Amino acid sequence: MATNSPAAGEDFAPALERSLDFFKALAHAQRLRIVGLLAERPAVVEEIASALALTPATVSHHLRILRQAGLLHVKSDQQYRLYGLEERRLREASRELLRLDNLRAGAGPFPEDLFARKVLDTFLKRGRLVAIPAQRKKREVILDWLAAQFAPGRAYPEAEVNALLTRFHPDYCFWRRELVMGRRLERERGVYRRREAAPARRSG
């Protein structure tokens, strides 16, 4: 669990706005048809209007929206304005906006993630724990974070576990015991391993 994640609403709005601009531009049958036409070759407003049986004013309106989304370019050809499709931008935008991590960024975190960030911001300073949370729910957040410092599948002798935990808090015995009792680490014959999945966090 990282401590440098953005606070609620800090970085999600730009990603969401980019997604909305892109999808709004294409969420219209006539604009999709215009994109399809311009995928064949650049064209002027009158050509597009004739092909789609629309008025030039309607076509100009749709072209403006597509341009604002960065999906079209325009150049002057004598007395005409020639519209062309920004194919590279279309590919890049669709690839970027449909990536799962970008969609997650646009949505923002779940409330429990916001709670976890607040706890980490409070109890972690410069990578060290400044106190042991009295509230169990907050302590569970710290335990999740500490468990993430252990590589999955790797065997840790007890001395190495102690040394790792001491980097974050002087009471390594307390945190080692909590990690084992909380089923985040398993211990067998003095060797510790991180469990594959942390248990569900308890409320209260």
| pLDDT tens digits, one per residue of 133-185 | 999 999 999 999 999 999 988 999 999 999 999 999 999 999 999 999 999 99
Query: Cα separation of 124 and 114, whole Å?
Result: 15
Global pTM value: 0.47
* CATH architecture group of domain 12-95: Orthogonal Bundle (1.10)
Could you tell me the CA-to-CA distances from 158 to 15, 140, 180, 182 in Å, in that order? 44, 22, 12, 17
Query: Cα separation of 118 and 181, whole Å?
Result: 24
| pLDDT tens digits, one per residue of 112-136 | 688 898 999 999 998 899 999 999 9
Minimal CA–CA distance to 185: which of 198, 173, 172?
A: 198
The residue extents of the domains of the chain are: 12-95, 111-194
Q: Of the spans 85-89, 96-100, 131-135, 192-196, which averages the highest pLDDT?
A: 131-135
Under DSSP, the state recorded for 201 is: P
